[in-house]
Structure 1
Amino acid sequence: MTQPETPSANRFQLKSILGGSIGNLVEWYDWYAYSVFSLYFAGTFFPQSNETAQLLNTAGIFAIGFLMRPVGGWIMGAYADRRGRKSALTLSVLLMSGGSLMIMLVPGYDRIGLMAPVILVLARMIQGISIGGEYGTAATYLSEMAPKHLRGFYSSFQYVTTTMGQLVALAVLMILQRWLLTPDELTAWGWRIPFGIGALLALSAIYLRRGIEETESFKQEKVDDSRKGTLQELVKYSSETRLVVGITLGLTVAYYTFSTYMQKFLVNTAGFSKSDATTIAVISLIVFMIAQPFMGALGDRIGRKRMMIIYGVLSVTTSIPILMVLGETHNFWVATLLITLALLILSMCTSISAIIKAELFPANVRSLGVSLPYALAVALFGGTAEYVALLFKQMGHATWFYWYLTACAAISLWVSLRMRDTEKESQMDAETSTDQLVK
Structure 2
Amino acid sequence: MKTGITTAQRLRGILAGSAGNLLEYYDWYVYSSFAIYFAHAFFPHGNQTAELLNAAAIFAVGFFMRPVGGWLLGMAADRYGRRTALTYSVTAMCVGSLAIAVCPTYEQIGLLAPAILLLARLVQGLSLGGEYGASATYLAEMASAGHRGFWSGFLYVTLVMGQLLALVLLLLMQYVLLTPEQIATWGWRVPFFIGALGALLIFWLRRHMQESERFEKSAQQKEKGGVRTLLQYPRAVLTVCGMTLGGTVIFYTYTIYMQKYLANTVGFPKETATLVSSASLFVFAAIQPAFGALSDRIGRRPLLLYFGICATLGTVPLLTVLSGVHSPWAAFALITGALFIASGYTSINAVVKAELFPTRIRALGVALPYAVTVSVFGGTTEYIALWCKQAGHEGWFAYYVSACALVTLLTVLTLPKTTRIDES
Question: In which range does the TM-score fall when normalised by the shorter chain?
Answer: over 0.9
Alignment of 1:93-172 (within 5 A): 93-172=90-169
Q: In structure 2, which of residues 347, 351, 358 is the aligned counterpart of residue 351 of structure 1?
A: 347
User: CA-to-partner distance for each residue in 1:99-149, whole Å, 9 max, x for gaps?
Assistant: 000000010000100000000000000000000000010000000001111
1:310 lines up with 2:306 in the alignment: yes
2:314 and 2:337 map into 1 onto residues whose CA distance is 9
Which amino acid is the alignment partner of residue 397 of structure 1? H
Alignment of 1:233-382 (within 5 A): 233-382=229-378
1:396 lines up with 2:392 in the alignment: yes
**Matching residue of 2:423:** 430
The number of equivalent residue pairs is: 424
Q: How many Å apart are 1:228 and its aligned residue?
A: 2.8
Q: How many Å apart are 1:223 and its aligned residue?
A: 7.7
SS, match of residue 20 in structure 2: helix
1:242 and 1:228 map into 2 onto residues whose CA distance is 22
2:392 and 2:119 map into 1 onto residues whose CA distance is 32
2:264 and 2:219 map into 1 onto residues whose CA distance is 55
Alignment of 1:384-423 (within 5 A): 384-421=380-417
2:194 and 2:86 map into 1 onto residues whose CA distance is 20
**Matching residue of 1:436:** none
Moved runs in structure 1, 4+ residues, more than 2 A?
222-225
User: CA-to-partner distance for each residue in 1:26-52, whole Å, 9 max, x for gaps?
Assistant: 000000000000000000000000110
Q: Conserved in 2, the CA contact under 8 Å of 1:70 and 1:129?
A: yes
1:56 lines up with 2:64 in the alignment: no
Q: How many Å apart are 1:9 and its aligned residue?
A: 3.0
Q: Conserved in 2, the CA contact under 8 Å of 1:229 and 1:367?
A: no
Q: How many Å apart are 1:97 and its aligned residue?
A: 0.8
**Matching residue of 2:13:** 16
SS, match of residue 430 in structure 1: coil
Q: Conserved in 2, the CA contact under 8 Å of 1:258 and 1:342?
A: yes
Which amino acid is the alignment partner of residue 251 of structure 2? Y
Give TM-score scaled by structure 1 length: 0.95
Return 5+ residue gaps in structure 2 as ranges. Answer: none
Q: How many Å apart are 1:307 and its aligned residue?
A: 1.4
Q: How many Å apart are 1:428 and its aligned residue?
A: 1.0
Identity %: 51
SS, match of residue 166 in structure 1: helix
Q: Conserved in 2, the CA contact under 8 Å of 1:78 and 1:228?
A: no
Which amino acid is the alignment partner of residue 317 of structure 2? P
1:387 and 1:259 map into 2 onto residues whose CA distance is 14
1:260 and 1:429 map into 2 onto residues whose CA distance is 35
1:82 and 1:115 map into 2 onto residues whose CA distance is 38
Q: Conserved in 2, the CA contact under 8 Å of 1:77 and 1:229?
A: no
User: CA-to-partner distance for each residue in 1:317-364, whole Å, 9 max, x for gaps?
Assistant: 211111011111111100000000101111111111000100111111
SS, match of residue 427 in structure 1: coil
1:32 lines up with 2:29 in the alignment: yes
Return 5+ residue gaps in structure 1 as ranges. Answer: 432-439
Which amino acid is the alignment partner of residue 159 of structure 1? Y
Q: Conserved in 2, the CA contact under 8 Å of 1:60 and 1:387?
A: yes
Which amino acid is the alignment partner of residue 206 of structure 2? R
2:359 and 2:240 map into 1 onto residues whose CA distance is 16
1:142 and 1:54 map into 2 onto residues whose CA distance is 39
**Matching residue of 2:40:** 43
Q: How many Å apart are 1:224 and its aligned residue?
A: 7.0
Give TM-score scaled by structure 2 length: 0.98
**Backbone CA RMSD of aligned residues:** 1.4
Q: Conserved in 1, the CA contact under 8 Å of 2:79 and 2:219?
A: no
1:165 and 1:91 map into 2 onto residues whose CA distance is 19
**Matching residue of 2:76:** 79
Which amino acid is the alignment partner of residue 238 of structure 2? R
SS, match of residue 138 in structure 1: helix
**Matching residue of 1:215:** 212
2:410 and 2:55 map into 1 onto residues whose CA distance is 33
1:343 and 1:357 map into 2 onto residues whose CA distance is 21
2:345 and 2:63 map into 1 onto residues whose CA distance is 21
